[in-house]
């Protein structure tokens, strides 16, 4: 990854949550036509993705109940 790309990621991390979401949506919109192949995923990567998704959904559900 280039130095410029690393700087963009660091700047992204400094954004407030709403700006992060808007930025991510815009990046996805602009890159949807780019060819992309992540290659095969390892079992560890799949497991980590599942754990992260579960934690996110659990947090979202618990936050919704508190309202």
| Mean pLDDT per 10-residue interval, the chain, length 67 residues | 94 95 92 83 92 88 62
| Total number of domains in the chain | 2
Give CA–CA dist 63/39, Å, rounded: 35
Residues 60 and 32 placed together within one structural domain of the fold: no
Scan for tokens 């808007």, then name that residue. Answer: 22
Angle, vertex CA 45, rays to CA 51 and CA 40, nearest 5: 145
pLDDT of residue 67: 44
Same domain, 30 and 46: no
If asked whether residues 22 and 50 sit together in one domain, one would say no
Q: Is the pTM of this model over 0.75?
A: no
Question: Are residue 32 and residue 57 in the same domain, yes or no?
Answer: no
Q: Which domain holds residue 56?
A: 42-67
Distance CA 23, CA 17 (A): 10
Residues 47 and 16 in one domain: no
């Amino acid at each position: 990854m280039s130095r410029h790309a690393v700087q963009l990621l660091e700047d992204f991390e400094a954004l407030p949550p709403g700006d992060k979401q808007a930025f991510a949506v815009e990046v996805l919109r602009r890159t949807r036509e780019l060819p992309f192949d992540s290659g095969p995923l390892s079992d560890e990567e799949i497991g980590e993705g599942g754990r992260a998704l579960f934690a996110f959904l659990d947090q979202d559900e618990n936050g919704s109940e508190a309202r």
